[in-house]
Amino acid sequence: MKISPEKALAIANLSRLEISPEQAAGLSVQMDDILGYMDKLNELDTSSVEPMYTPVEQPGFLREDEVRKDFERTEILRNAPETDGEYFIVPRIV
């Protein structure tokens, strides 16, 4: 598919980009190169390739949930501006 400078200017306009006619000429060449590369990729036989959602192997970093007590209540409440010794005291909103 050949992209003309006028077509590149129209695409830029749809993308809300303001480009000059000289930039449109350069953009049309770049778009032609990109589409040519895509045509080359379309020539490959990928019928025996399993589709992937990502080309990078991503092992799961999940761990088992386990209950543990990392902090004491007094340590957590120490940073509160106001507390009753057991809970945070916050201003009433309503």
Q: Which DSSP string do the residues of 7-37 spell out, in sequence order?
A: HHHHHHHHTT----HHHHHHHHHHHHHHHHH
In this predicted model, what pLDDT tens digit does every residue of 2-41 receive, in sequence order? 899 999 999 999 999 999 999 999 999 999 999 999 999 9
User: Tokens for 25?
Assistant: 């000429």
- Quote the pTM value: 0.49
In this predicted model, what pLDDT tens digit does every residue of 48-81 receive, in sequence order? 988 887 878 777 778 788 898 889 988 999 989 9
Domain ranges of the chain: 5-42
C-alpha closest to that of 1 among 36, 44, 41, 40: 36
Average pLDDT, the chain: 89
Domain 5-42 fold is Histone, subunit A (1.10.20)
Q: What's the pLDDT score for residue 69?
A: 86
CB 9 within 8 A of CB 21: yes
